[in-house]
Amino acid sequence: MDEFVEPLGMRVLIRKDESRQRTRGGIVLPDQAEIPTITGRVVEVSLQVERDADFPIEKYDKVLFHPKNSIPVDFEQDNLLYVVPIEDVVAVFRKTESPKRRRKAGQDDASDSAG
């Protein structure tokens, strides 16, 4: 039986992206540089977050999060997994329109065709 980590409450499990040692501008960062927000991929979403329409976060989304309250999970050798409170997820990277905008556009289309 495979083991997995299921976040509870208003939390998500995120696999932190590899740390960059150099910025886009070419500045070399020391190993212990404090970066206020970091990116990662959502690995698991708690049932509470999944059911809350205010947080349109799904498994595999790329997110930007503040690591201050994140809890490292000693589950894999590379230790890149973190349980993150949903309020510390500050952005989700999207390639298309947001679900809210799509839903509103769909509602507008339905009302146009009805009238």
Whether pTM exceeds 0.75: no
Q: What is the pLDDT of residue 104?
A: 40
Mean pLDDT (the chain, rounded): 78
Domain extents in the chain: 11-19+33-114
What is the rounded end-to-end Cα distance, in angstroms, of the chain? 56
Confidence band for 36, pLDDT divided at 50, 70 and 90: low
Residue type, 3: E
Task: Domain 11-19+33-114: give its CATH code.
Answer: 2.30.33
Q: What is the pLDDT of residue 29?
A: 59
**Cβ within 8 Å of residue 5, ≥6 positions away:** 13, 43, 44, 73, 75, 81, 83
Average pLDDT of span 65-73: 91
